Amino acid sequence: MRRTLKDVADKAGVSRSAVSRAFTEGASVSPEMRRKVLKAAHELGYSPNALASSLTTGRTKLVGLVSNNFRNPFFLEVFDLFTKELQDAGLRPLLVNLSNETEPQDSLRMMQQYSVDGVILASSTLPVGFARAFRDAGMPIVHAFGRFSGRPQVHVVGIDNVEAGRMAGRTLAERGYRKVTFLAGPEAATTTQDRLQGFREEMSRHPEIETDVAFGEAYSFVAGRTTMLDLIRHPMAEAYFCGDDVLSIGALSALREHGIRVPDDVGIIGVNDMEMSSWELIDLTTIRQPIRPMIRSAVDLMASILYDEDAVPEARLFSCDLVERGTLRPIPKG
Amino acid sequence: MRRTLKDVADKAGVSRSAVSRAFTEGASVSPEMRRKVLKAAHELGYSPNALASSLTTGRTKLVGLVSNNFRNPFFLEVFDLFTKELQDAGLRPLLVNLSNETEPQDSLRMMQQYSVDGVILASSTLPVGFARAFRDAGMPIVHAFGRFSGRPQVHVVGIDNVEAGRMAGRTLAERGYRKVTFLAGPEAATTTQDRLQGFREEMSRHPEIETDVAFGEAYSFVAGRTTMLDLIRHPMAEAYFCGDDVLSIGALSALREHGIRVPDDVGIIGVNDMEMSSWELIDLTTIRQPIRPMIRSAVDLMASILYDEDAVPEARLFSCDLVERGTLRPIPKG
DNA sequence: AAATTGTTTGAAACCGGTTGCAAGAATCTG
DNA sequence: CAGATTCTTGCAACCGGTTTCAAACAATTT
Distance from CA of B232 to the nearest CA of A (A): 16
Instruction: Summarize the confidence of residues B151-177 as an average pLDDT.
Output: 95
The number of CA neighbours under 13 Å toward the Cβ of A132 is 6
Residue A302 is inside which H or E element, if any?
helix A291-306
Rounded Cα distance between B328 and B266, Å, is: 8
- Cis peptide, bond prior to residue B104, ω within 30 of zero: no
Any strand C atom closer than 7 Å to A20 CB: yes
CA A149, A155, A156: angle at the middle one, nearest 5? 55
B101 or B277, greater pLDDT: B277
- Measured over the CA atoms of residue B20, residue B24, residue B28 and residue B33, the dihedral's sign is positive
DSSP per residue, A96-134: EE-TT---HHHHHHHHHHTT-SEEEEE-SSS-HHHHHHH
Any strand C atom closer than 7 Å to A22 CB: no
Asked if B84's CB is within 8 angstroms of A97's CB, the reply is: yes
Asked if B95's CB is within 8 angstroms of A51's CB, the reply is: no
Q: How far is the CA of B87 from the C1' of C6 (A)?
A: 38
Rounded Cα distance between B141 and A273, Å, is: 37
Instruction: Summarize the confidence of residues A237-251 as an average pLDDT.
Output: 98
Asked if B87's CB is within 8 angstroms of A253's CB, the reply is: no
Average pLDDT, chain A: 95
Asked if B54's CB is within 8 angstroms of A51's CB, the reply is: yes
Residues 6+ apart with CB under 8 A from B124: B69, B145, B146, B185, B189, B190, B191, B219, B244
Chain A positions touching B116 (Cβ under 8 A) are none
Determine how many CB atoms are found less than 10 A away from the CB of residue B243: 32
Categorize the per-residue pLDDT at A309 as very low, low, confident or very high, splitting at 50, 70 and 90: confident
Asked if B51's CB is within 8 angstroms of A55's CB, the reply is: yes
Rounded Cα distance between B266 and A310, Å, is: 63
Any strand C atom closer than 7 Å to A297 CB: no
Distance from CA of A207 to the nearest CA of B (A): 35
User: Which nucleotide's C1' is closest to A57 (Cα)?
Assistant: C18
Asked if A95's CB is within 8 angstroms of B83's CB, the reply is: yes
Instruction: Give the residue on B whose Cα is nearest the Cα of A282.
Output: B281
Q: Of B79, B109, B110, which has the smallest distance from its Cβ to A79's Cβ?
A: B79
Asked if B256's CB is within 8 angstroms of A280's CB, the reply is: yes
User: With left for phi above 0 and alpha for psi between -120 and 50, is residue A259 left, alpha or beta?
Assistant: left
Distance from CA of B80 to the nearest CA of A (A): 5
Any strand C atom closer than 7 Å to B25 CB: no
Residue A197 is inside which H or E element, if any?
helix A190-203
Instruction: Give the residue on B whose Cα is nearest the Cα of A78.
Output: B70
Q: What is the tens place of the pLDDT at every residue in A87-108?
A: 999 999 999 999 877 789 999 9
Specify the DSSP class assigned to residue A285: -
Instruction: Summarize the confidence of residues B95-117 as an average pLDDT.
Output: 91
Q: What is the tens place of the pLDDT at every residue in A159-175?
A: 999 999 999 999 999 99
Q: What is the tens place of the pLDDT at every residue in B166-219?
A: 999 999 999 999 999 999 999 999 999 999 999 999 999 999 999 999 999 999
Instruction: Summarize the confidence of residues B239-268 as an average pLDDT.
Output: 97
Rounded Cα distance between A140 and A137, Å, is: 9
Q: Is the pLDDT of residue A150 over 80?
A: no
Nearest residue (CA) to C1' of C12: B17
Categorize the per-residue pLDDT at B334 as very low, low, confident or very high, splitting at 50, 70 and 90: low
Strand ranges of the sheet holding B315-318, from the earlier edge strand across to the other edge: A315-318, A155-159, A141-144, A118-122, A62-67, A92-97, B92-97, B62-67, B118-122, B141-144, B155-159, B315-318
Which nucleotides in chain D lie less than 7 Å from some protein C-beta?
A: 7-12, 14-20
Q: Of A83, A114, A282, which has the smallest distance from its Cβ to B97's Cβ?
A: A83
Asked if A275's CB is within 8 angstroms of B115's CB, the reply is: no
Q: What is the pLDDT of residue A37?
A: 96
Q: CA–CA distance from B302 to each of A203, B121, B141, B145 (Å)?
A: 55, 11, 7, 14
Taking a C-beta distance cutoff of 8 angstroms, is the pair B103, B115 a contact? no
Taking a C-beta distance cutoff of 8 angstroms, is the pair A92, A61 a contact? yes
CATH numbers and ranges of domains, chain A: 5-48 (1.10.260.40), 62-160+290-319 (3.40.50.2300), 161-289 (3.40.50.2300)
- Percent of residues, chain A, with pLDDT higher than 70: 99
Q: What is the pLDDT of residue B42?
A: 96
Q: How many Cβ pairs within 8 Å bridge chains A and B?
A: 131
Categorize the per-residue pLDDT at A334 as very low, low, confident or very high, splitting at 50, 70 and 90: low
Q: Which is it for strands A62-67 and B267-272: parallel, antiparallel or unpaired?
A: unpaired
Any strand C atom closer than 7 Å to A59 CB: no
User: Closest by alpha carbon to A298, among A32, A18, A65, A97?
Assistant: A65
Q: What is the tens place of the pLDDT at every residue in A19-69?
A: 999 999 988 899 999 999 999 999 999 999 999 999 999 999 999 999 999
Q: What is the pLDDT of residue B99?
A: 81
Q: What is the pLDDT of residue A26?
A: 87
Q: Is the pLDDT of residue B150 over 80?
A: no
End-to-end CA distance of chain A: 78
- Cis peptide, bond prior to residue A263, ω within 30 of zero: yes
Rounded Cα distance between A23 and B101, Å, is: 25
Chain A positions touching B281 (Cβ under 8 A) are 249, 252-253, 256, 281-282
Nearest residue (CA) to C1' of C16: A52
Q: How far is the CA of B58 from the C1' of C7 (A)?
A: 28
Report helix angle B73-88 to A73-88, nearest 10: 70
Chain A positions touching B2 (Cβ under 8 A) are 112
Q: What is the pLDDT of residue A331?
A: 93
Q: What is the pLDDT of residue A99?
A: 82
Taking a C-beta distance cutoff of 8 angstroms, is the pair A95, B83 a contact? yes
CA B25, A54, B62: angle at the middle one, nearest 5? 50
Taking a C-beta distance cutoff of 8 angstroms, is the pair A189, A195 a contact? no
DSSP per residue, B101-113: ---HHHHHHHHHH
Q: CA–CA distance from B194 to each of B186, B189, B283 (Å)?
A: 12, 9, 26
